[in-house]
Structure 1
Amino acid sequence: MQKGLRLSKVAGAMAALLMAGTAATAVAAPTHDKAVIGYLTQWEAWKGTDAGFSVKGEATHLNVDMDIYSILNFSFFGVAKDGSMHSGDLRNKSIYQPNAVQEPGPLLHPDVYSSWDFHILWGELEYIHEYPGNEPWQADALAKVKAQGFVKDGRGWKHEPTGITGQMPIPLKKEGGAPGLIELANQKGVKVMASIGGWSMSKHFPEMAADPVKKERFLKDVDALLALGFHGIDIDWEYPGSGGMNFTGTEADFANFEQLMEDIRERIGPDRLLTAAFKAVPAALEGFNWDRLVKSMDYFNMMTYDLNGGWSNVTGHNSPLYPYPEEEFEGLNLDTLKNWMVNVKGIPSQKINFGAAFYGRGVQTTESTAYLGAPTDKRNVNFSVDGPSVSAVDLDNWKAFEGQPNYNYIIKQTGWEHMWDANAEVPYAVKGKYFLSYDDPEAMRKKAQYIVDNDLGGIIVWQVHGDIQCKGTFVNYGTKLKQCTNLSSPLAEEIDKVFTNGNPTPGNTAPVLTVPGAQTADAGQVISFDVSATDKEGDRLTFTVTGADVVDNGNGTATVTYKAPNTSVDLTETITVTVSDGKKNAVKSVVVNVKGEAPLPGDNNPPVLTAPATAEVKSGETVVISVSATDKDGDALTFTADNGAVVTPTASGADIAFTAPEVTADTVVNLVVTVTDGKATDEATVAVTVKATEEPNPGNTWDPNKVYVGGDTVVFEGVTYKAKWWTKGEKPGTSAVWEAQGENPGPNPDPDPNPGTTWSASKVYVGGDEVTFNGEKYRAKWWTQGDEPGVPFGPWEKI
């Protein structure tokens, strides 16, 4: 199988600069031995003062302290339905909807005006609006274009060293301008990874990993990413086995993920990095063969954040270090995960990186004054990425962030009471009914010291611009890039201080834990057993238990009490016991064999209903929603639904036909579906988005719900447009994906003596195009749209 990518041609010194990332001998900038991995997104640069930044364009690679980070993950590239990758800027924004798919698209967004891809990856640009010809006045431009490896490709261009293609203008790297991400990282000794997937672009991972043809297409784009200069690949499949946005996971995902890692490793060779992000929940990680993954991968990036949020029933911490009494679900913290990975699964600690959240999560509660553990107040919310959801997210205080404010914005807000949880060792804040979980410098110090004390690999940061603060002025590099002259990163700086100066707590050893052997219990029976521990340094010991209750006796022993479930079948349960001296932990498990009892006559198991979370229908039209249900007792099931929906039984459940009301604005209707076996019921709520019907313009052929690919033509508002690449839902005349072809004259046009040459403000022209305007003829000197001919120093010359 092919390893890496052989380049047959690298054109000139400037092309070498664009390819500088292929040199793989640099040493990471930080002086310590811990990995500090920061995710750098392509979309954060769009944000400005309303999101905590000083100016729009501040959140780019030029404002990252590369003396702190050892690896930067450029995020994200998505996976399309054929297995190919595409720019994150081209993701299908309706992917949350049932049956929605991601069509293929370019690896880098071809429009330099509506995307930051080229500006971040290649640096400061100067635009060449048409491919230079052989005229004397074009000689300098032609020399620059050829030196950087650009050749003409139809009406666009191709960069031969990387294989990247695009539309005009040519994104020429400005000589002496600001460097791109990979070039700058190489200068600083920092690695740059191509991160693939993310929450909204993982739908096609399972089918790609299971299909050899699609996987080979994926691996070809891995070659292309290496040709761009990336030092390795980071996989953000969210999530194998448990599923994600608009897809469900299966048991086969785990083995397919493991094989994909081995295939990528073979493709990229042994010297490049291969990492992946994982859900930080042990139950979601049990299906992996960790011994197999250890052999092919460099780091396991554990997303120890998003552990509580708007979906939670009570307020909790976004990224707790330790357990705390108010937590809704046991075990959702860094310490429990570390013990499971290292002590239970035997995963090498040096390959484990834990997550640091440079953002918070805000929720609203039912209480007049919020507190840790308070009930959350949920309602229907239409998120920009997730679509219609039921959530307690706080949009009153954090609307611009949809409830997830960056740290640099949080610290600028007033009116909040800030508190510290000594159990979880993280802060939180309250203001009236609102609750905010976040991390501050003290929390970062404790997490970093925990990583040092437990000999873990390092830390991952989501995301690197969440804490930056410009204390100086900005230097502009072109119209997009801005660099702060005095940058502060308070959270990242605390991590660096601990990793650079911190040492494992001297003289400390982990406590020694003793637990009994396997226990037995009848269904419904309560049993107890004692555990004990000793500590060499005589530190105070604390016992915690997962799967049972525990009473600390205060003398190095504890009593564990377990109640067996009422079950008709034999079960094997596992109780996990942890003892901590405040610095290090010991973990052991106790197996309980539960003997099942035959159900008494008349006992009933309730049915279990399965229904989609969301659906969509046009105003006044009907959508059919399929649901299913199971019943352990085999009882006959009856389905009902509210809002006038018609229920038709099927072999596995029922089809729910819901006729939408006539609406003038998009509306969410909560459709409650119920199933009963005559004794017990189960129900689910389907959030149905009713889309308002727009008044169509007679003659319009553009359909916002239809997918168009490059070359497709439509008519909209009297103008004919041609698609330049894949698009869906982007209105012609407002998006660069559509190129105006000329006015549609309608059924009775006035005669035009020069058809097709009249200038149109909505049409895109490139160098050499000729038009008539106010009776005069003009020729375009470069790419233009909306610039009237005849304006001095403009893009048009009179002919």
Structure 2
Amino acid sequence: MVPLYTIISAYLVVSTFSFLVKNTTADNIVCYYVPGKIGPEDLDPSLCTHVNYAFVHLNEDGNLVIRSQYLDITKGFYKRTVALKERNPMLKVLLSVGDTAATVFSKVAASNVTRRRLVESTVHFLETYSFDGLDVDWEKPTPDDADNFVNVLRDLRKAFDSRGWLLSAAVYPNPSAGYNVVEISKSLHMINLMCYNFYGPWGTTTGQNSPLFASPLDTPYERANLNVAAALSQWLRAGAPKDKVNVGVPFYGRSFALASSEEHGLHAPIKGAGSPSTPSYSEICTEFKNWTTVWDKDQKNHYKYTSTQWLGYDDEKSMRYKARYVASQGVAGMMIWQISMDDVEGKCTRKQNLLKVINEELRKSNQFPFDIKVVHV
């Protein structure tokens, strides 16, 4: 291993500097996959270290429930996704339990009986369909759920260890939302930090879906919470081990309906969601070409706008910045939601362009200069 040299400030300051990055530990590339038009056969499994199949549902009795009998079983998406390991023997394919009401997770986690049933049901699913582990996507536990979430993960891990299975969880950017970070870290092999959906139509202004750094236009709260660097800093300070944290990035953007054609910058007033509200990278690169495009040098993201709509998104340039930043922080790797939203068919770029960008940056063995602006919290 080659040491990574960085200077990190513990204070809330904004600093611009250049440094040399040498990737040493960012090995994981966790790829969430949702079955649909893009089949597993369309994907290059060598570009992922893990594939998380999304989703299987959970009911209030603690049983896992097939989400779509037609897709998962009849069309064989379970089997076809697991078969990606034939083309990449090092690949691990996990089943992700999610797309389920938070109240259901809360009820199951609160009872010894339903937790035991969840473990039994999970073991049955993983053995039956040959998955390599479980990813828990509870969106999201409350502070009242924190202890029960610890218990759920502990029970699952006990059953997994003898079988060699992996256990991961997708978590919100704010660790105080409902996580005992130190305790859940003991049970989890990987912590998939969802660094997206920072802004959306639930707010009153435009904002980047996944800004890497803060903007000078941000409020103090936004600077300290609503960007990738801040979220990662919070989780690490809360006790998450670096070698378990995967920084999540989106292969989609978020659009807004502008309140006025005269205001179209960052934090411009909005009147709701744009259309489509969450376009994929593939859609953005093919269908939004005529929109005015602006590079935000502070947040390291592009945005596009018309007289009526605004779109914040990631592309090749912003994804390179994110991957380089992740490499500089010495964490486990990156997570993607979700890989079928990439330009899989190569309509306007090379096939699976964003995923290849991440691979290129995390796999670099040479040093390179990287100018960044960081908000330290």
Q: Please give the range of the TM-score, normalised by the shorter of the 2 chains.
A: 0.7 to 0.9
Measured against aligned partners, the alpha-carbon deviations of 1:570-602 in whole angstroms (never above 9, x if no partner) come to xxxxxxxxxxx9477765xxxxxxxxxxxxxxx
2:118 is the counterpart of 1:218: yes
Q: Aligned pair in 2 of structure 1 residues 272, 327: CA closer, same or farther (>3 Å)?
A: same
Measured against aligned partners, the alpha-carbon deviations of 1:747-774 in whole angstroms (never above 9, x if no partner) come to xxxxxxxxxxxxxxxxxxxxxxxxxxxx
Q: Which amino acid aligns with 1:406?
A: S
2:151 is the counterpart of 1:259: yes
RMSD: 2.4
Question: Corresponding residue for 2:8?
Answer: none
Question: Shift of residue 291 of structure 1?
Answer: 2.1
Q: Aligned pair in 2 of structure 1 residues 194, 340: CA closer, same or farther (>3 Å)?
A: same
Q: Aligned pair in 2 of structure 1 residues 471, 303: CA closer, same or farther (>3 Å)?
A: closer
In 2, Cα distance between the equivalents of 1:78 and 1:584?
A: 39
Question: Corresponding residue for 2:14?
Answer: none
Match of 2:92 among 159, 166, 191: 191
Alignment of 1:61-460 (within 5 A): 61-89=40-68, 109=69, 112=70, 115-121=71-77, 180-189=80-89, 190-198=91-99, 200-227=100-127, 228-241=129-142, 251-269=143-161, 271-284=164-177, 287-327=178-218, 329-330=221-222, 331-342=225-236, 344-369=237-262, 370-377=264-271, 392-395=272-275, 398=276, 403-413=277-287, 414-460=289-335
In 2, Cα distance between the equivalents of 1:336 and 1:356?
A: 14
In 2, Cα distance between the equivalents of 1:119 and 1:84?
A: 23
In 2, Cα distance between the equivalents of 1:584 and 1:326?
A: 14
In 2, Cα distance between the equivalents of 1:186 and 1:117?
A: 19
Match of 1:37 among 26, 30, 54: 30
In 1, Cα distance between the equivalents of 2:52 and 2:341?
A: 15
TM-score where L is the length of structure 2: 0.85
Question: Corresponding residue for 1:489?
Answer: 352
Q: Aligned pair in 2 of structure 1 residues 415, 453: CA closer, same or farther (>3 Å)?
A: same
Aligned 8 A contact 1:358 1:439 in 2: yes
Pick the structure with greater CA Rg: 1
In 1, Cα distance between the equivalents of 2:234 and 2:256?
A: 29
Q: Which amino acid aligns with 1:301?
A: N
Q: Secondary structure at the match of 2:29?
A: strand
Q: Which amino acid aligns with 1:256?
A: N
Question: Shift of residue 85 of structure 1?
Answer: 1.3
In 2, Cα distance between the equivalents of 1:212 and 1:295?
A: 20
In 2, Cα distance between the equivalents of 1:429 and 1:194?
A: 35
Q: Secondary structure at the match of 1:442?
A: helix
Q: Which amino acid aligns with 1:498?
A: E
Question: Corresponding residue for 1:466?
Answer: 341
Question: Shift of residue 455 of structure 1?
Answer: 0.6
Higher helix share: 2
Q: Secondary structure at the match of 1:67?
A: helix
Aligned 8 A contact 1:63 1:487 in 2: no
Q: Aligned pair in 2 of structure 1 residues 338, 505: CA closer, same or farther (>3 Å)?
A: farther
Q: Which amino acid aligns with 1:37?
A: V
Q: Which stretches in structure 1 are left out of the alignment for 5+ residues?
A: 1-30, 46-56, 90-108, 124-179, 242-250, 378-391, 473-485, 509-580, 588-799
In 1, Cα distance between the equivalents of 2:160 and 2:74?
A: 23
Higher strand share: 1
Question: Shift of residue 354 of structure 1?
Answer: 1.1
Q: Aligned pair in 2 of structure 1 residues 436, 268: CA closer, same or farther (>3 Å)?
A: same
Aligned 8 A contact 1:449 1:502 in 2: no
In 1, Cα distance between the equivalents of 2:360 and 2:113?
A: 47
Alignment of 1:675-694 (within 5 A): none
In 1, Cα distance between the equivalents of 2:94 and 2:77?
A: 12
Q: Secondary structure at the match of 1:446?
A: helix
Q: Secondary structure at the match of 1:264?
A: helix
Question: Shift of residue 268 of structure 1?
Answer: 1.2
Measured against aligned partners, the alpha-carbon deviations of 1:662-696 in whole angstroms (never above 9, x if no partner) come to xxxxxxxxxxxxxxxxxxxxxxxxxxxxxxxxxxx
Q: Which amino acid aligns with 1:324?
A: S
Question: Shift of residue 335 of structure 1?
Answer: 0.8
Q: Secondary structure at the match of 1:39?
A: strand
Q: Secondary structure at the match of 1:188?
A: coil
Aligned 8 A contact 1:74 1:195 in 2: yes
Q: Aligned pair in 2 of structure 1 residues 315, 122: CA closer, same or farther (>3 Å)?
A: closer
In 2, Cα distance between the equivalents of 1:117 and 1:37?
A: 23
Measured against aligned partners, the alpha-carbon deviations of 1:488-520 in whole angstroms (never above 9, x if no partner) come to 0111111011011155668x9xxxxxxxxxxxx
Aligned 8 A contact 1:453 1:505 in 2: no
TM-score where L is the length of structure 1: 0.41
Aligned 8 A contact 1:273 1:298 in 2: yes
Aligned 8 A contact 1:280 1:303 in 2: yes
Measured against aligned partners, the alpha-carbon deviations of 1:309-328 in whole angstroms (never above 9, x if no partner) come to 11111111000000113336
Q: Aligned pair in 2 of structure 1 residues 283, 313: CA closer, same or farther (>3 Å)?
A: farther
Question: Shift of residue 261 of structure 1?
Answer: 0.5
Q: Which amino acid aligns with 1:38?
A: C
Aligned 8 A contact 1:309 1:318 in 2: yes
Question: Shift of residue 39 of structure 1?
Answer: 0.9
Measured against aligned partners, the alpha-carbon deviations of 1:95-153 in whole angstroms (never above 9, x if no partner) come to xxxxxxxxxxxxxx1xx4xx344434455xxxxxxxxxxxxxxxxxxxxxxxxxxxxxx
Q: Which amino acid aligns with 2:326?
A: I
Aligned 8 A contact 1:320 1:426 in 2: yes
In 2, Cα distance between the equivalents of 1:368 and 1:584?
A: 31
The structure, 1 or 2, with the larger RCO (C-alpha pairs under 8 Å, 6+ apart) is 2
Measured against aligned partners, the alpha-carbon deviations of 1:276-331 in whole angstroms (never above 9, x if no partner) come to 011112442xx533222222111111111011011111111000000113336412
Q: Percent identity?
A: 28
Q: Which stretches in structure 2 are left out of the alignment for 5+ residues?
A: 1-23
